[in-house]
A = this chain, B = another copy of it.
Amino acid sequence: MVNVVGFDIGGVNIKGAFVIYSSSNEYTLKISSKFYPMWLHNPVELPELLEGIIRELAGKNQIDAFGITLTAEVSDAYYTKSEGVTHVLTTFTKMMPRIPKKIISSYNTFLPLQDALDDYMAVASANWVATAMYVGKKFPNCILMDIGSTTTDIIPISKGLPNTIGKTDPDRLMSGELVYTGALRSTIPSITHKVPVQGKPSPISFEKFALVADVHLLLNHITEKEYTCDTADGRKKTRKDALARLARVVCSDIDLLSESEIYEIASYIYERQLNQISEGLTQVLKSREEYDLTVPVVVTGLGRDFLARKVAETMGFKQIYDLRQELGLEGAIASPAAAIALLLAEELKVS
């Protein structure tokens, strides 16, 4: 039996996964996810938060290893990536010192903690590698689309391994493999600069009056419970408050715009967001000859159905697999954490 805790330390959410891998090749998977906008918190809280997640997931079970990945270094809680990687990883150094800690790298390997500190760019924002390597075991040639609260990863997988042009976030942005749009936190001006108001295109305000979570709530893509980030105005996650937030985007309010007029705005924003993701996927497809519309697309993350699947279907892909079938709903929403735990458990089991 091998027990591993996987961590995906994002700048906005911290996700943990606990895997108990039995000798008969069966496993149980338990997930914990905390909304934790890094730049709003004091970094000294981090050890306590991580210990809480470990207790919650593993209880009194023995832990054989920690698998870790992070994207938090991108957040402006840190001045540079170097500072961010160093802070997050050294937070782990003192934690349960006898248990080995392995960090996944963009070279498809697990690095011991000190090696990761020495080569910080190899582990910075490499959480997509974990999911891709896990998915590659089942679908050796496929395109993985992981759409979380914040970002979209579009990862071509060849011969079981991620086959991306970009290895770092800036390079992945450039190659279309990272599309900075997600299921919850995207701001409206990052999706479109105009929306239809009473049939005519209107420019919008740049204020953070609403988030795309309001759009997806109104369009029944997510429930209030799945709206796990803070609202833009600090008000509730109800339909009525979401309507009020979206009306403000064009400097209006719910006295001046009808519900159906606001739904028209929501539908348009959704359409534009699908378009942004399509552009990334098209760029990824164009940059490699070996893929066509017959390649399987594996979708995961909170936006796997209403964003990833929708884009893949619209573009004409024939085979679309939902990673939820493998990892369960919670595992799919926290796929990098689940994938790291499963990959590391398997590695330990074999060795």
Contact = CB atoms under 8 A, between A and B. Distances in A.
Interface of A: 39, 74-76, 79-82, 125, 168-170, 173-174, 178-181, 185-187, 189-190, 193, 197, 200, 202-209, 232-235, 244-245, 248, 250-256
Contact of A170 (B179, B189, B202, B209): B202
B256 A209 contact: no
A174 B200 contact: yes
Given A180-B205, A203-B180, A206-B181, A80 B254 contact: yes
Interface of A is mostly: loop
Nearest to A211: B206
Contacts of A125: 251
Contact of A206 (B190, B235, B253): B190
Contacts of A256: 81, 168, 170
A250 B80 contact: no
One complex includes copies of this chain to the number of 2
A186 B202 contact: no
Given A74-B248, A80-B253, A170-B197, 5 more contacts: A168-B256, A173-B202, A174-B197, A174-B203, A189-B189
A321 to B, nearest CB: 27
Given A190-B206, A206-B181, A81 B174 contact: no
Nearest to A186: B206
A170 B251 contact: yes
A80 B205 contact: no
B76 A169 contact: no
